[in-house]
Amino acid sequence: MKRFFLASFDYLRKKDPDVSLAASSILAHLKTAMPSVPMEIFHRQYDVKRADVKLMTNQFLEDVSEIQPNIVATGIYIWNESFINDAFTKLRSKNSEILTVLGGPQITYNPKGTLEAFYSYGDIFIRGYAEQGLATLLDSISKIETTQQQRTEHVQIEGVHWSGELDLGQKSVYDLNKLPSPLLTPGIIRHKNYIRLETKRGCPFTCAFCQHKDSYEKRLSCDENRIRKEVETIVSEGINDISIVDPIFNSGSNYARILEVFIQNGYNGRLSLQSRFEMVKDDYLDACVRLREGGAQVELEFGIQTIVGAESKVIRRKNNLKKVLETAIELKAREIPFEVSLIYGLPLQTKDSFLFSLEWVREFLKPDLVHAWPLMLLKGTEMFDLKDTFKLREKVLNEDLEEIEERRIYAGIPHVVESSTFTESEWNQMKIIALSLNNNAIN
């Protein structure tokens, strides 16, 4: 019987479950979609937070030696890429018979035809959400005896690219309505009363710095019966801290019905919702008030990024400031807590323009919390392709800023520290201002 090993290199906080949302969704689907496939499934989680690359690689290789897998898979993100590069490069040098499967945003948004150059240790690459594509791949591999045959006689699966073959740049096909809930699938998640939950994927906007786009996901929603059962389980198991990770929770047509399910089940814990000011309607406000009246701690998170017109235009993130202000006034009137985030290091930004956005938010919106995050250039985004135009210079931040602010991963990740309109010294001044804000963040 063949063995499949999913290795998760995650940035863990104290309250996080023992499996990430992405990995748990994959494991739940494999468990339910492959009951008759002769393949054992293993999972290990590696915490990259303040980790030593060499020690982590050694632990990973020890686990591989123990499990003896035929296939090893992982998801690559900007914040774990250096760890995976080291671990999988050494794995490849030690054992060429193990098939390696790579997914995650760094694979999804890598330019077509370049995956092998960036990730020479990869045998198979999956672009996009991998649940169903990976299950189809493993099912096909289980029917082929040797690794060499698998590399030469495999079936073609949309979104799955084999090293050395023509890269079509396709993304894996999946049906969110048919994916099982990790929370409801036995044996997947062991939580500490905190979970991340998704109700939809995709975003109707095309911000130049963000990887969430409707161009692929088309804002697909989870089956509402699944969500109802998840909320019932959340309440019955006493889970009292939830972050809904939808890019914009109050987009689409189902957000009010979802909140109603929380209300009907008497949820009284923390509920964090990423929201858009311009899309806030009375039904959203009413539901938030009712949740708070029932004892829930509702926290709405809004991204403004900048209020400066030229900066907004470049990053394709314009704000309707009149509507934003009206919504903020209404939130205050209804005593609904909310926080606002900005970005520093944007094209055309200066220290003064950053301060202008910050002071406007403080004076007119009066949020309970303000955050400011440094700009990262993510693969597949318009901003990534425009860095030369605006002379954006990146630098890996090796200082451990997480000691000050734990909601954002900094160390080991390239951030924009200089542009045509600000120096690194001025960026550092913006960073100091941002950290003074973030020091008061809720974890």
Interval 184-231: pLDDT, tens: 999 898 777 899 999 999 888 889 999 876 444 567 889 999 999 999
pLDDT for 54: 96
Please report the pLDDT score of residue 150 as a whole number.
66
The number of angstroms, rounded, from the C-alpha of 325 to the middle of its chain's C-alpha atoms is 29
Cβ proximity of 250 and 275 under 8 Å: yes
Between the alpha carbon of residue 286 and those of residues 263, 291, 430, the distances in Å are 11, 9, 37
Token duo for residue 272? 């964090």
3-state secondary structure of 432: helix
Q: Determine the Cα–Cα distance for residues 298 and 379; give it in Å rounded to an integer.
A: 33
CB-CB contact of 367 with 330 (8 Å): no
CA distances from 7 to 26, 150, 292, 327, 394 (A): 12, 21, 39, 43, 29
Could you count the other beta carbons within 10 Å of the beta carbon of residue 393?
A: 15
Q: What pLDDT score does 147 carry?
A: 66
pLDDT of residue 441: 47
Q: Name the residue type at position 10.
A: D
- Among the listed residues 372, 427, 371, the one whose alpha carbon sits nearest the alpha carbon of residue 394: 427
Residue 443: predicted pLDDT: 34
Beta bridge partners of 300: 273, 338
Its pTM stands at 0.90
pLDDT of amino acid 402:
47
Q: Which two tokens stand for residue 43?
A: 């999972």
Neighbours of 334 (CB within 10 A): 12
pLDDT the model gives residue 76: 97
Query: What pLDDT sits at residue 393?
Result: 96
3-class SS string, 134-161: HHHHHHHHCCCCCHHHHHHHCCCCCCEE
Model pLDDT, residue 251: 92
- Predicted confidence at residue 219, as pLDDT, reads 76
- Whether the CB-CB separation of 343 and 375 falls below 8 Å is answered with yes
Q: Which positions of the chain have pLDDT values less than 50?
A: 214-216, 400-405, 441-443
Euclidean distance between CA atoms 151 and 99, whole angstroms: 9
| pLDDT at residue number 280 | 98
Nearest to 20 by CA among 56, 58, 59, 47: 47
Q: The tokens of 14 are what?
A: 């104290």
d(CA 200, CA 189): 20
